[in-house]
Amino acid sequence: MPKMKTHRGAAKRFKITATGRVKHRRAFRNHILTKKPAKRMRQLKAMQTMKKGDERHVKRMLIATGK
């Protein structure tokens, strides 16, 4: 059986923290930014940890990298 390959799209979007949680970038920060308040834009900058239920699926996609 061949080696498992990393899902490249997932590898670009998610990072595993030292404690094993999955971090991702928040949505709504690509375009139509002029009407969004500065406070909201600051809050959207921060990375966010993923919900536990979705972590299992993402980790499975990233398993081949060992990251």
Q: What angle do CA 64, 48, 20 make, to 5 degrees?
A: 40
Q: CATH number of the domain that 29 lies in?
A: 4.10.410.60
Q: Considering the domain boundaries, does residue 14 fall inside one?
A: yes
Give the pLDDT confidence score for residue 7 in this predicted structure. 93
> What pTM, to 2 d.p., does this model score?
0.76
> What are the CA-CA distances from residue 55 to residues 6, 32, 45, 50, 52 (Å)?
15, 30, 21, 6, 5
pLDDT in tens, 10-22: 999 999 999 999 9
Question: How many distinct structural domains can be found in the chain?
Answer: 1
Q: Considering the domain boundaries, does residue 19 fall inside one?
A: yes
Range of the structural domain that residue 46 is part of: 8-62
Q: Considering the domain boundaries, does residue 23 fall inside one?
A: yes
Q: Considering the domain boundaries, does residue 3 fall inside one?
A: no
Q: What is the pLDDT along the chain (67 residues), one digit of tens a residue?
A: 788 899 999 999 999 999 999 999 999 999 999 999 999 999 999 999 999 999 999 999 998 755 5
Q: Considering the domain boundaries, does residue 28 fall inside one?
A: yes
